[in-house]
Amino acid sequence: MKKFANFAIAFFFAMASAAIVAYSLAHIAHYDLGVPGSALREQALMCAALIFGLVTIEFLASKE
């Protein structure tokens, strides 16, 4: 049960970090580079999914 709890906590932190990075990238692109907000929504979601996938792969690979 403790192993599942550790995995759930790590999963939550991976999702949170992906969301924070996606928001930060969208904020920089919108306010600093002038990209319209409507053009950033899809890219922000793809970026979050990519970062989440990479963090999950790294986490699962390090457990073996």
What's the pLDDT at 63? 60
**Separation of alpha carbons 45 and 33, rounded Å:** 19
- Please choose, from the candidates 57, 61, 60, the residue with its C-alpha nearest in 3D space to the C-alpha of residue 6: 60
The pLDDT, as a whole number, for residue 1 is: 67
**Span 3-52, pLDDT tens digits:** 778 877 888 888 888 788 878 887 898 899 998 887 777 777 787 788 88
Please give the model's pTM, rounded to 2 decimal places: 0.58
